[in-house]
Amino acid sequence: MKIVVTGGAGFVGSHACEHFKRQGHEVVAVDNFSRHLLLGKPHATTEFNVQFLESIDVPLIRADITNSEQISHALRGAEAIIHTAAQTAVTTSLQDPLTDFRVNALGTVNVLEAARQNDAAVVFCSTNKVYGDNVNKLRILEDLRRYRFSGSVAVDEKLSVDHTEHTPYGSSKLLGDVYCQDYAHVYGLKTGVFRMSCIYGTRQLGVEDQGWVAWFTIATMFGSPINIYGDGKQVRDVLFVKDLVELYDRFLQSKTKHGVYNTGGGINNTLSLIELLDLLEEFTGKRSKLKYHDWRPSDQKVYISDITKAADHFGWKPKITPAQGVKKMVEWIEENRHIFARNFEESPSQSLSFPERKGLDLTPKKTSFQTSMEV
């Protein structure tokens, strides 16, 4: 079938393009290349992903999800839409909540309207942040190197998303989440809402504000100091990106019309910040200097996804362990050191130049649209 991936030049998006292309589907990527602008970072890995998509013969259309006319045209003829495009950083949402709303809420409604015009299935990248501070209201115990839940060991889909602080990012993603649910109930669209925990893997440009596993790995390998907000005992379940897109595939192949799924590594694949630093020291022989700061707004001390529902519905489970996944990241970063060296040296304000390929205008412009999705 024809599958269109919004945010296709981003981290999760490029992996979705690769997966479904190798499955034999017609795949089109849609992007407007502004991740680096929203995060105030250099553009090198976006350029890398553009070149990667060309290498696997995935056409790339420039379009902005906040522009209904552009996105309607870009998604024309789609039978399935993998909606990874988003503003992904909590810190950015606090600084600029209006842009965050336009991208994550309005942008998602525009994608859903285009899906309705084509009767296309939709995979939506939601986030564990929809539960907001309700996660911290669960009883939490403190151990030597990590926090853990007392009683329940993971968060299932029944935890309330109401009556709590979310941050603008959590709120805007929740709006998209609920709209995806409603388009299934009201219009009969096939929609899968995947409330993602920590997704990580190759072709990811982690920065301090977003993509912590990748950022810690890059910073460690380049000897950059790392800021720790809180005490470093925060725990997340981590899911390697290839396991994630396998879940998307199983949903699209299934007869399931609609579902909401907590999505992560689950209880068998968790890391605290401190534990990741230990793992990186084992693989690289290096450990960055740490500087501790106050907790950030609505940071969850522990978040572990209960993935039972996804496992039961689709016979899916993560295959790649944290140790295996982090090792893959270390190897990929080492193989592509030139990309990350550029990121450490470049100024975000430098002029950007993408080659024009197959008649497409790939020159980035400053618009409110981000290309990768990870919590």
Distance (Å, whole) CA 64 – CA 13: 15
Contact 292, 228 (CB under 8 A): yes
Residue 237: phi and psi, rounded to 5, are: -85, 135
Distance (Å, whole) CA 124 – CA 107: 12
Distance (Å, whole) CA 278 – CA 285: 10
Distance (Å, whole) CA 159 – CA 177: 15
CB atoms within 10 A of CB 93: 26
Distance (Å, whole) CA 181 – CA 183: 6
Give yes or no: 292 in active site: no
DSSP H or E run through 110: helix 107-118
CA distances from 307 to 195, 238, 260, 310 (A): 10, 12, 11, 6
Catalytic residue among 131, 147, 169, 179: 169
Can you say whether the dihedral through the CA atoms of 92, 11, 110, 184 is positive or negative?
negative
Q: What is the DSSP letter of 132?
A: G
Catalytic annotation, residues: 169
